[in-house]
A and B are shown apart, each in its own frame.
Chain A
Amino acid sequence: MSLSAQTRPPAGAAAPPLIEARGLTRILPGLVPVTLVRDIDLTIGAGEFVAITGPSGSGKSSLLYLLGLLDAPTRGEVLINGHPTHLHSETRRARERLSTLGFVFQFHFLLPEFSVAENVMIPMRKLKRLGTRDMRARAVRMLGELGLEEHVDKLPIQLSGGQRQRVAVARALANDPPAILADEPTGSLDSKSSEQVFQILRKLVDDHGKTVIAVTHDLEMAARMDRRLHLVDGMLADP
């Protein structure tokens, strides 16, 4: 399977945690400031399958966006591969997202004017690590492994919800990032499609050493992951 290269660190090597949060706090400014997450300290290593759970409004997605450098903390910092990111420019944070982090959202968010293969190729074209032919070949191969070989040249609108979400997973993996951050990846899917997507994520962790951090409401699914972070009112709590 060539969804990605093996990213587990060699045995015995003392690698820094892939993602680390120190005193992470995010407050929305306004007349009445709203605290989304408060004083979060956590460490997530390579090859972990982590669930973030909690009631609605507890700050699950906010934490995920902070860990994924999509949002900037009010206080505290996020370290990627041991490197602090709070002083990074917007461009450098974007570069980190491009090469180190892959996002999957509750809705697929595929670009509707581009074909399935072209959607998967967008991050590759941005990173420019491969030639055009190799990008296309890699996109087709990845889509094939996700059971979408017949749909590579279709437009997203021609696919079912589950198929679109699998395309979104392929796109998140396009540049072979070590971490996938998923925000309710199965939230808009039926049970069969949800299970398919979960199995894909599981496989990424087990077979390819990827780190997957997924926000979910589904406690049963969370229980099948390796580790669970439970949030209440923006703070980590015991599940």
Chain B
Amino acid sequence: MPLILSIALTHVGGRFRQSIVSVLGVMLGVGFSIAMAALMEGSQRDFVATLVDAIPHVEVSDDRRDPAPPPAAARFDAVNVIGARPDDDTRGLRNPVRIKAMLENWLPGGMAASLSGQAVLRYGGKDVAVALTGVDPAAHLRVSTIGEDMRAGAFMDLAADLNGLIIGDGVADKIGANVGDTLAVSTSSGAVRRLKVIGLFHTGVTQADDATGYTVLKTAQVLFSRPNAINRLSIRLKDVNSARAVAQRVERMTGYRATSWQEANESLMEVLMVRNIIMYTVVGAILLVAGFGIFTIVSTIVHEKARDIAILKSLGFDQADIRRIFLMEGLFIGIVGSVLGSVLGYGLSVFLGSLAFEVKTNVELTSLPIYYSAWHYAIACGFALFSAGIAGYLPARRAAQLNPVDIIRGAS
């Protein structure tokens, strides 16, 4: 074993109890950091995955980010146009066939057209407002996981039933309807149709389960009095993280607003980011406190071993050697604490992941979602070692600067 290391280890061994306490400090810091990071990132990923599964990765809607000026403003050299009457063209994505053809060539995923609007479902004297979406069932299943969320019936049953309706189980509970019941569906256009509930779904996202319904596109077009129109193009990508870039490109090509799932949930993503900052601040604080423990033990050893430092210098050790000895002591405690802390962190993560319970929030949890990542271990151990290095270096520098003559005179 190298001389410097063997001297460092005998110093740490000589202060066994205090060294153990310091190691425990680092171990607990690293362990809880890892477990907390696994839990936080697990819950974030679970939350985002559920959210992303429930909504299109990119949604093209029939409005524009920068509305074009009224035609009169372009025709006349006017500063402002007052009292321009809108044309009587109904809203919707114009020429959807051309748009779909334009995107199909390069889009890394699938897309499905739909027509959405507000509708009121009435059954047994109870009313509930829902977002009713008219879809092509086969195409919609390519861009949504709704098929996997069916609790009763199958989503593809819509294809065979123009008067079919699939609603969230929350909606069904609200109005007391079940599969096989016929509801009256009315929209703001004044149209009313009787549709039969042929399926129930449960996504786990409350706002979807409690206020959403699906029917076939043709039926929706009749209900909303917008024949042949669509107002949504839902896109599902192979890589969810490319949604922003794809949305920008789609918007450039079509002129319509294309919203990525990140943009649609921007405030939520910001909350998650703030949560991560808070988490890593707390983790950093824990490891910083552990660093103080190391600083204390190494400082104590430096104080106790001042005479040894003097004699080592008289034997031919230079300042760098002395500095290395005490730096190594801090790092040794940091390394042992990090290794044990990693084991503790893994154990805690496994334990937390095994706990089963029921919490009903916006997204349901039945067990704590744990995400295992080597990065959590690397960050926690890296910060612990950095903290241990600083905590060891400060007293080590002081030790290296000690004047051996002063110590020898003091000792004699």
Contact = CB atoms under 8 A, between A and B. Distances in A.
Q: Do A and B bind each other?
A: yes
A68 B412 contact: no
B318 A90 contact: yes
Given A97-B314, A97-B315, A111 B412 contact: no
Contacts of B3: 122, 125-126
Contacts of B316: 94-95, 97-99, 123, 126-127, 175
A184 interface: yes
5 contacts: A65-B408, A95-B316, A109-B307, A126-B3, A126-B316
Contacts of A109: 307-308, 310-311, 314, 408, 411
Given A70-B405, A105-B412, A107-B412, A98 B315 contact: yes
A183 B10 CA distance: 28
Nearest to B305: A111
Interface in A51-85: 61-62, 65, 68, 70-71
Interface string A151-173: 00000000000000000000100
B13 interface: yes
A113 interface: yes
B311 A91 contact: no
A5 to B, nearest CB: 19
Interface residues of A, number: 31
Contacts of A184: 412
Given A97-B316, A105-B408, A175-B316, 13 more contacts: A70-B404, A71-B403, A90-B318, A91-B320, A94-B317, A94-B321, A103-B314, A107-B411, A109-B411, A113-B14, A114-B10, A122-B312, A171-B315
A49 B316 CA distance: 23
Contacts of B13: 113
A106 interface: yes
A114 B318 CA distance: 20
Contacts of B317: 94, 126
A24 to B, nearest CB: 15
Contacts of A97: 313-316
User: What is the predominant secondary structure among interface residues of chain B facing chain A?
Assistant: helix
Contacts of A187: 412
B136 to A, nearest CB: 80
Nearest to A89: B318
B315 A61 contact: no
Interface of B: 3, 7, 10-11, 13-14, 307-308, 310-321, 403-405, 408-409, 411-412
A189 to B, nearest CB: 14
Q: Which 6 A-B pairs have the closest CB atoms?
A: A98-B316, A94-B318, A113-B10, A109-B311, A125-B3, A91-B318
B314 A106 contact: no
Nearest to A121: B3
A68 B314 contact: yes
A98 B3 CA distance: 14
- Determine which residue in B10, B14, B316, B411 has the highest number of CB atoms from chain A within 10 A of its CB, and name it: B316
A99 B320 CA distance: 18
B395 to A, nearest CB: 19
Contacts of B412: 105-107, 183-184, 187
A10 to B, nearest CB: 27
Given A65-B405, A71-B405, A111 B318 contact: no
A124 to B, nearest CB: 9
- Determine which residue in B307, B312, B315, B321 has the highest number of CB atoms from chain A within 10 A of its CB, and name it: B315
Contacts of B403: 71
Contacts of A62: 405
B405 A103 contact: no
Contacts of A98: 315-316
A88 to B, nearest CB: 11
A126 B317 CA distance: 8
Interface string A126-157: 11000000000000000000000000000000
A53 B405 CA distance: 19
Nearest to A26: B405
A62 B307 CA distance: 18
Nearest to B314: A103
A105 B409 CA distance: 10
Contacts of A111: 7, 10, 308, 311
- Determine which residue in A94, A97, A187 has the highest number of CB atoms from chain B within 10 A of its CB, and name it: A94
A59 to B, nearest CB: 12
Contacts of B312: 122
Contacts of A70: 313-314, 404-405, 408
Nearest to A92: B318
Contacts of B409: 61
B315 A122 contact: yes
Contact of A103 (B307, B315, B321): B315
A70 B316 CA distance: 9
A101 to B, nearest CB: 8
Nearest to A102: B315
A171 B310 CA distance: 15
B407 to A, nearest CB: 10
A97 B316 CA distance: 5
Contacts of A68: 314
Contacts of A127: 316
A88 B7 CA distance: 27
A181 to B, nearest CB: 9
B318 to A, nearest CB: 4
B152 to A, nearest CB: 75
A122 B14 CA distance: 18
Contacts of B319: 90-91
- Determine which residue in B13, B307, B408, B409 has the highest number of CB atoms from chain A within 10 A of its CB, and name it: B408
